[in-house]
Amino acid sequence: MATEELSTADWRKSSLSGGNGGSCVEVASLRGGRVGVRDSKDRSGPALVFTHAEWRIFISGVKGGEFDSLA
């Protein structure tokens, strides 16, 4: 993964994150149908990169409550 692609990506943060200074996740569409995920408080830090299929499965799990026990 080229660092340049991550640094020039159009990162989006949830409108529900608010402005309280807490950490939030940002996501970006990347070339090749991939999705980048990073910490908004550490934008120059590492990012996770998922295939589109992996991202769809993750979102389905979130919507289905699979991670509720972690909260």
Measure the CA–CA gap between 39 and 60, rounded to whole angstroms.
21
Q: What is the widest separation between alpha-carbon atoms in the chain?
A: 36
pLDDT tens, N- to C-terminus, the chain (71 residues)? 567 788 889 999 877 776 666 668 899 999 999 999 999 888 888 999 999 999 999 999 999 999 999 97
Structure tokens at 13: 């943060």
Structure tokens at 69: 């026990």
Name the β-bridge partners of 39.
25
Structure tokens at 17: 């994150």
Taking the model in full, what pTM does it have? 0.78
Residues 6+ apart with CB under 8 A from 51: 33, 34, 35
